[in-house]
Structure 1
Amino acid sequence: MNAFVEGVRDILPAELRKRRAIYQTIREVFEANAYREVITPTLESLELYAGVEGLVDKSEMFKVVDDKGQILVLRPDLTMPIARLAASRFQDSPRPLKFSYLSSAFQSKNSQSLSLKEKTQAGVELIGSASLESDLEMILLLLKTMKKVGVAEPLIDVGHADLINEIFADLKIAEDEKNELRRLLAAKNKIGIKNYIQDIELTGDAEKVLLRLPSLFGDPKKVIKELENMPLSAETKKALKNLEELFNKLEVFESLKHITFDPMLISRHGYYTGVIFKGYAKGYSNLLASGGRYDNLTEKFGIEEAAVGFALEIENLLDYLNRTENFSDNLKKRFLIAYKDQNDLKFAYELAEDLRNAGFVTEVYNNADQEYLDFQQVDFEIYLKNDGLELKQYGGETTEIERNQKEALEYLILNKIEEWE
Structure 2
Amino acid sequence: MFLPAGSQDQIGHLLDRKAKVYQLFRKVAKKRAYKPIETPVVEYAETFTNKHVGMAFHTLLKWFDRDGEIEVLRPDWTTAIARALVNQDPKQLKWFYQGSVYRQDKDGIESNQAGIEIIRSEPLFGEIESLFFAVEFLNQTQIDEYLIELGHTGIYEAIIAPLQLSHQAENKLRQAMHDKQTDVVQRLTASNPDVSEQLHALIHAYGDKEVLVAFKEKYQSHLELTAIIEHLLQLINVLNQLGINDVIVDLGRVKELPYYSGTMFRGYIKDSGQSCFSGGRYDSLYHQFDQKISAVGLAFDVDILAEHIKDETQPRRVCLLASEATHVVAELKSQSYQDEIVDIVYQQDLTIEYDEVIDLRNEGSD
Q: TM-score, normalised by structure 1?
A: 0.77
Q: Which residue of 2 aligns with 1:363?
A: 343
C-alpha distance in structure 2 between counterparts of 1:66 and 1:331, whole Å: 47
* Alignment RMSD (CA, Å): 2.7
**Partner residue of 1:201?**
191
Shift, 1:387, TM fit: 11
SS at match of 1:34: coil
Contact 1:295/1:304 (<8 A) preserved: yes
The superposition leaves residues 39-71 of structure 1 with CA deviations (integer Å, 9 ceiling, x where unpaired) of 110111222223145642111111233333332
**8 Å Cα contact 1:43/1:74 also seen in 2:** yes
Q: How big is the shift at 1:12?
A: 1.4
CA deviations on 1:67-109 (whole Å, 9 max, x unpaired) are 3333211111011111111113x1xx23352111111111122
Is the CA contact (8 Å cut-off) linking 1:130 and 1:307 kept in structure 2?
no
Alignment of 1:142 onto 2:134 = yes
Following superposition, the deviation at residue 386 of structure 1 comes to 9.9
> Which string of whole-angstrom CA distances, capped at 9 and with x for unpartnered residues, describes residues 132-180 of structure 1?
12101101111221232232212111100121011223xx345266555
Kindly state the Cα deviation for residue 347 of structure 1 after the two structures are TM-superposed: 3.8
Alignment of 1:130-209 (within 5 A): 130-169=122-161, 172-173=162-163, 175=165, 178-190=170-182, 196=187, 200-203=190-193, 206=195, 208-209=197-198
Match of 1:308 among 296, 318, 333: 296
Aligned to 2:98: 102
CA contact (8 A) 1:98 1:126 kept: yes
Question: Match for 1:254 among 232, 237, 243?
Answer: 243
Query: What secondary structure is seen at the aligned counterpart in 2 of 1:284?
Result: coil
Q: Which residue identity is paired with 2:126?
A: S
SS of 1:69's partner is coil
Contact between 1:127 and 1:307, CA under 8 Å: does it hold in 2?
Answer: yes
Which residue of the partner structure matches residue 257 of structure 2? 269
**Structure 2: which amino acid aligns with 1:34?**
A
Find the aligned partners of 1:276 and 1:366 in 2 and give their Cα distance.
57
For structure 1, list consecutive stretches of 5 or more residues without a partner in the other structure: 389-421
1:241 pairs with 2:221: no
Structure showing greater Rg: 1
Percent of pairs identical after alignment?
A: 24
In the TM superposition, 1:210-221 aligns within 5 A as 210-220=199-209
For the 8 Å contact 1:159–1:275, the answer to whether it is kept is yes
| Residue of structure 2 aligned with 1:118, choices 110, 133, 138 | 110
CA contact (8 A) 1:344 1:384 kept: no
Instruction: Give how far 1:181 is off.
Output: 4.6
The residue aligned with 1:128 is: 120
Determine if contact 1:184/1:193 at 8 Å carries over to the other structure: yes
Contact 2:150–2:232 (Cα < 8 Å) also in 1: no
- The aligned counterpart of 1:418 is none
Q: 1:300 to 1:191 in 2, by over 3 A?
A: closer
Which residue in 1 is equivalent to 2:25?
26
Structure 1 residues 184 and 42: alpha-carbon distance in aligned structure 2, compared to 1, 3 A threshold: closer
1:329 to 2:312 alignment:
yes
Q: Number of matched residues?
A: 360
User: Judging changes above 3 Å, is the alpha-carbon distance between structure 1 residues 4 and 228 closer, same or farther for their aligned structure 2 residues?
Assistant: same
1:44 is aligned to: 43
Tell me if structure 1 keeps the 8 A contact 2:185–2:200: yes
| Residues 331 and 35 of structure 1, relative CA distance in 2, 3 Å threshold | farther
CA deviations over 1:295-339 (Å, ceiling 9, x no partner): 1212222332010001111122223x1xxxx42435554322125
Inter-partner Cα distance in structure 2 for 1:201 and 1:69: 46
**Aligned mate of 2:284, from 282, 296, 304:** 296
- Could you list the per-position Cα deviations for residues 330-388 of structure 1 after superposition, in whole angstroms to 9, with x for gaps in the alignment? 5554322125x887654433221211xx13331211312234x2xxxx65232327999
Counterpart contact for 1:87–1:302, Cα < 8 Å: no
TM-score, normalised relative to structure 2: 0.88
Q: Is the 8 A contact 1:86 1:97 kept in 2?
A: no
- State the 1:239 CA deviation: 1.6
SS at match of 2:138: helix
Equivalent residue for 1:380? Answer: 355
